[in-house]
Structure 1
């Protein structure tokens, strides 16, 4: 995922190692020049670029394995729903007015240590309930990115460490975004997100 140019591209499996060596400034192997030449011809790799590198470093993404569930119905407070709506409106406007790289950078690094304690769940469940309460205002179809950005921001404001994950399917091509705490999906269903291969987290 090229966050600076806001685009996705699929690198052939045999070229992947050469691209990673280039990214990590490691010594090139004999076939790397040929492989990277193929990427240069399509604009994926450029040379003599004066602009500093602004994309994110490759990160390890924890595969989703469970989802946030309510043992008892969570009380939905109007103030929480109003905050969720405000966060979503801000995210929706931001996507249209700011480069994607800046938005993702503001979200901070991926959380390596999941908050899965009972105390964390006591804060997560009301946030999840608040976002469900806004589905009548903000449609869920094709709005997964602003909803997930907003969800993470609201979690951050509550002191919760979560990760925004972006995944894709190839045939046909489709992209999706959701929020995880470790391997637990917070704002979507495990069944849905398992259809996508995670390629980025923030």
Structure 2
């Protein structure tokens, strides 16, 4: 009998430790040493010398479940490392465009108050899946214009500690224009910090490159 991650759970290796995100419960967590050793054992990764912990405890903790289809356990593997950021360009934005971005931001903030995060993420997934493959020549213009507009907004309404509503607002603006991007959640340790950003291929649309590179992706929508 094999095992796989429980539905809604993803993880990454950050600071040589597995860090987990349960999107259905909207929480990040790590495991106690013995459970962590047992989990790493499931990955085939050499574990430190802690006492044995039954896989049953990992199941009871909501980390893994039985796998009858051979899916196995894999860390988040985002194959688009960030190589540039449209926020690193100091390009002016018009007042009307910035005002529209502010309206999108406030809608995102309100949406997080009236709906839980799992439903918000599911809605984004559904909207992305409904988009036809694009690759249109004007996509790059939409991406650049959107990034520039929200960067300008960030000078008025600080984006610090608002990475989630900013990212959701940018995703909404892009999807409304038929352009897809990735909503990336990442973590850093010592101390633990969680972050999220919007990325299209290797280009970051909602933060500076040097900041995003501090985080290890744990979930990509």
- Normalised to the residue count of structure 1, the TM-score between the two structures is 0.73
Query: 2:166 is matched with which residue: 147, 157, 163?
Result: 147
The corresponding residue for 2:119 is 102
1:86 counterpart = 2:103 = yes
Choose between structure 1 and 2: higher strand proportion: 2
Alpha-carbon deviation of 1:37? 2.1
On the 8 A contact 1:115/1:182 being kept in 2, the answer is: no
1:62 counterpart = 2:79 = yes
Q: Please list the CA deviations of residues 130-175 of structure 1 after superposition, one character each: whole Å capped at 9, or x if unmatched.
A: 1122124422211001100111111111111100000001211100
- Normalised to the residue count of structure 2, the TM-score between the two structures is 0.67
1:176 counterpart = 2:195 = yes
List alignment gaps of at least 5 residues for structure 1.
Answer: 20-33, 48-56
- Tell me, what secondary structure is at the counterpart of 2:145? helix
List alignment gaps of at least 5 residues for structure 2.
Answer: 1-20, 44-52, 67-73
State which drifts further: 135-144 or 9-18: 9-18
Aligned equivalents of 2:156, 2:87: Cα separation in 1: 23
The correspondence of residues 178-193 of structure 1 with structure 2, limited to 5 A, is 178-193=197-212
The corresponding residue for 2:39 is 15
Aligned equivalents of 2:151, 2:86: Cα separation in 1: 13
Superposed CA RMSD in Å reads 3.5
The corresponding residue for 1:122 is 141
State how many pairs are aligned. Answer: 179
Change (3 A) 1:115 1:162: farther
Change (3 A) 1:59 1:195: closer
Change (3 A) 1:71 1:40: closer
